[in-house]
C-alpha cells in the first residue's frame, strides 16, 4: 500500500458501446451476489427487530434490557465472529477466482474451528451479563432484566459460527440465493411464532426469544444440508483432516478481519453505553435503540453491497485482472451511493412516525423524531463506507483498515462525542454528531486509500497468497474421501 501510485479511474472500455456492455455485465455479476445478500441480511436482521417489537410491547424495562443485550453484548460478539468470518471471504473469493475451487471447503472447515473456539471465550459475557452491566453503571432494574434475557442469546451466538461462514463460502462462488430463500422462510416463521407465543399465549420474553432461536437454526441447518447434499460439488468434497493443517495463517487473517469489523460495530455500542449514563436513561436508550434499528435496516443494504464488493474484488484479483477489479469497485460504489441518497431524502421526510412500530410511548417517539436528521446522515455515510470496507476484505487489507478505524473512531469520533454530549450539553445528539464526524473521516480515508492503490500490485499479492496456501487438488480430494 505504501508504494501505491495508480489512481482508481474508470478504465477505457473501447468506446461507448463497449462501456455499456461492461456496465451491464458487471451489474449482473454485482446483483447475483448483492441481491440475495441484501435480502438475507434484511431477513436475518429482521429477526432481531421483530423480537424487539414484540418485547417493546411487553414493557419499557424489557425493551431497554433487550436493547442493551442486543446492541452491546450481541453486537460485541457479532462483531468478533462476523469479522473473523470475513477472512473466509478473502480466502474463498481469491481461491475461487484463481480456479482453486477445491480449497474452499477446506477453508470453510478451518474457519469453523477458529470461530467455535472464539465463541467459547465469549460465552461468559452472556452468563455474567447482570454484574457486567452493573460495573458499566447501568440502572439496577435494567441490569437484572438484561441478565435474565442474555441467556437466551447463547444458542444465537453459536449459530453465528455456521451461518456467517456458510454465507461467506456460498457468496464467494455466487451461490447465495439458497441462503436468501431460507432466510425468508425463517423470517415468516418467526413472525408467526412470535405472534402466537407473545400475543396469544402470553409467553412474554420466552416466546419472542424462543421463536428467534428456532428461526436462526432452521436457516443454519438448511444451508448445511444444501452444501452436504451436492449443492456445491466443485467446492465441497467432504470433511478433511487438512482443515487442521496451516491454521495459523487463517487465525492471523481472522484476527485482523475481526479487529476491522469489531471496531466498526462496537462504535454504535459505545454510543448506547454513553447514553445509558444520562438522565432519563430508559427513554434515551429506547429512542436511540429504535434509531439504530432503523439505521441497521438500511445498513443491511450496504452490507449486501459490502459482500458484493468483497466477492467481486477477490474474484478478479484471484483471476489476475486489476482492470476488472477497479471497474467493479466503481460500479458497486456508484450504485450503493445512489440508493443511499434516495433513502437519505425519505428518512428526512418521514422523521419520527416510524417509531410507533416499536413503541406506544409518545415520549419515546418524540425523542426519535429529534434524532431523525442524524439518522439520515448516518444512512448517507453507510452507503459508501461499508462498500469500501468490502473492497478491503476482497483485497485482504483488514489490518490496515483496523488501524484506520482506531484512529477515526476512537481517537476522533468518541472523544468529540463525549465533549459535545457531556461538556457542551448536546446530550444524545452531541454524542451522535461526534461519532458521525469520526465515520465521515474514516470514509474519506478509505476513499483516498482505494483511489491511490496500485491494483496490479494487489493482483500479485493475491496470487502469491493463493499459491502459498493451496493444497494440490488430488491430495486434498483423497484426504477428504477418507474422512467422509
Answer yes or no: is 9 within a domain: no
Average pLDDT over residues 323-337: 89
Q: Is residue 37 predicted with pLDDT exceeding 80?
A: yes
∠466-471-476 over CA atoms, to 5°? 140
- Determine the average pLDDT of the residues in 43-54: 80
Say if 8 falls within a structural domain.
no
Residue 212: partners with Cβ closer than 8 Å, 6 or more residues away: 47, 48, 50, 51, 152, 156, 190, 194
Higher per-residue confidence, 270 vs 460: 460
Chain centroid, CA 155 distance in Å: 19
Answer whether residue 3 shows pLDDT above 50: no
CA neighbours within 13 Å on the CB side: how many for 23?
Answer: 14
| pLDDT one-digit tens code per residue, 340-381 | 888 888 877 776 666 666 666 677 777 777 777 777 888 888
Distance CA 452, CA 221 (A): 43
- Whether residue 211 is contained in a domain is answered as yes
Q: How many CA atoms are closer than 13 Å to the CA of 78, on its beta-carbon side?
A: 18
H or E segment to which residue 39 belongs: helix 16-56
Given this model, what pLDDT does residue 482 score? 38
Degrees, nearest 5: CA angle 221-227-229 = 95
Instruction: Give the least confident one: 91-95, 301-305, 368-372, 387-391.
Output: 368-372
What pLDDT, on the 0 to 100 scale, is given for residue 2? 43
**Residue 458 domain flag:** yes
Contact in structure between 455 and 6 (CB atoms under 8 Å):
yes
pLDDT per position as a tens digit, 167-194: 889 888 888 888 888 988 888 888 898 8
Q: What end-to-end distance do the CA atoms of the chain give, in Å?
A: 42
Number of domains present in the structure of the chain: 1
Q: Which residues contact 423 (CB under 8 A, 6 or more apart)?
A: none
Residue 6 lies in a domain: no
Supply the range of the domain harboring residue 350: 16-483
Residue 153 is assigned to a structural domain of this protein: yes
Q: How confident is the model at residue 59 (pLDDT cuts 50, 70, 90)?
A: confident
Confirm whether 11 is domain-assigned.
no
Q: At what angle do helices 322-350 and 385-395 cross, to 10 degrees?
A: 160
Compute the average pLDDT of residues 385-412. 83
Most confident of 68-82, 273-287, 289-303: 68-82
36 closest CA partner among 160, 159, 183, 232? 183
Please, which pLDDT band fits residue 158 given cuts at 50, 70 and 90?
very high
Amino acid at each position: 500500500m505504501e508504494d501505491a501510485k495508480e489512481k482508481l479511474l474508470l478504465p477505457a472500455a473501447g468506446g461507448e458501446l463497449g462501456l455499456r456492455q461492461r456496465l451491464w455485465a458487471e451489474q449482473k455479476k454485482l446483483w447475483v451476489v448483492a441481491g440475495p445478500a441484501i435480502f438475507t441480511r434484511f431477513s436475518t436482521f429482521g429477526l432481531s427487530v421483530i423480537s424487539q417489537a414484540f418485547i417493546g410491547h411487553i414493557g419499557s424495562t424489557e425493551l431497554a434490557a433487550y436493547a442493551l443485550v442486543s446492541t452491546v453484548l450481541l453486537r460485541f460478539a457479532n462483531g468478533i465472529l462476523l469479522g473473523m468470518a470475513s477472512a473466509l471471504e478473502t480466502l474463498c473469493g481469491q481461491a475461487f477466482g484463481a480456479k482453486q475451487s477445491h480449497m474452499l471447503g477446506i477453508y470453510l472447515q478451518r474457519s469453523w474451528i477458529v470461530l467455535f473456539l472464539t465463541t467459547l471465550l465469549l460465552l461468559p459475557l452472556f452468563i455474567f451479563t447482570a454484574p457486567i452491566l452493573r460495573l458499566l453503571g447501568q440502572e439496577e432494574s435494567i441490569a437484572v432484566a438484561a441478565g435474565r434475557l442474555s441467556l437466551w442469546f447463547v444458542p444465537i451466538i453459536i449459530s453465528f459460527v455456521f451461518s456467517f461462514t456458510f454465507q461467506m463460502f456460498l457468496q464467494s462462488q455466487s451461490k447465495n440465493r439458497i441462503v436468501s430463500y431460507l432466510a425468508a422462510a425463517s423470517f415468516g416463521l418467526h413472525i408467526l411464532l412470535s405472534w402466537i407465543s407473545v400475543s396469544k399465549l402470553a409467553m412474554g420474553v420466552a416466546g419472542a426469544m424462543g421463536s428467534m432461536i428456532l428461526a436462526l437454526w432452521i436457516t443454519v441447518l438448511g444451508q448445511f444440508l444444501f452444501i452436504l447434499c451436492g449443492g456445491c460439488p466443485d467446492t465441497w468434497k467432504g470433511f478433511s483432516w487438512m482443515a487442521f493443517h496451516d491454521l495459523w495463517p487463517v487465525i492471523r487473517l481472522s484476527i485482523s478481519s475481526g479487529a476491522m469489523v469489531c471496531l466498526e460495530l462496537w462504535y454504535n455500542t459505545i454510543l448506547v453505553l454513553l447514553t445509558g449514563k444520562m438522565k432519563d436513561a430508559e427513554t434515551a436508550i429506547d429512542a436511540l435503540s429504535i434509531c439504530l434499528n432503523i439505521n441497521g435496516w438500511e445498513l443491511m443494504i450496504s452490507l449486501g453491497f459490502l459482500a458484493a464488493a468483497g466477492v467481486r474484488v477477490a474474484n478478479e484479483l484471484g483471476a489476475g485482472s486489476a482492470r476488472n477489479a477497479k471497474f467493479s469497485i466503481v460500479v458497486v460504489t456508484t450504485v450503493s451511493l445512489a440508493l443511499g441518497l434516495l433513502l437519505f431524502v425519505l428518512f428526512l421526510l418521514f422523521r419520527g412516525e416510524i417509531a410507533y412500530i416499536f413503541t406506544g410511548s409518545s415520549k419515546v417517539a418524540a425523542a426519535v423524531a429529534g434524532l431523525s436528521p442524524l439518522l439520515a446522515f448516518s444512512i448517507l455515510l453507510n452507503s459508501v463506507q461499508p462498500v469500501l470496507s468490502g473492497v478491503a476484505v476482497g483485497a485482504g487489507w483488514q489490518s490496515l483498515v483496523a488501524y484506520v478505524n482506531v484512529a477515526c473512531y476512537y481517537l476522533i469520533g468518541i472523544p468529540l462525542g463525549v465533549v459535545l454530549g457531556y461538556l457542551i450539553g448536546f446530550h444524545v445528539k452531541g454524542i451522535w454528531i461526534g461519532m458521525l464526524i469520526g465515520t465521515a473521516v474514516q470514509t474519506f480515508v478509505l476513499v483516498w486509500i482505494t483511489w491511490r492503490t496500485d491494483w496490479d500490485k494487489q493482483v500479485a499479492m493475491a496470487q502469491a497468497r493463493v499459491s502459498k496456501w493451496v493444497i494440490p487438488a488430488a491430495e486434498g480430494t483423497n484426504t477428504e474421501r477418507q474422512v467422509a
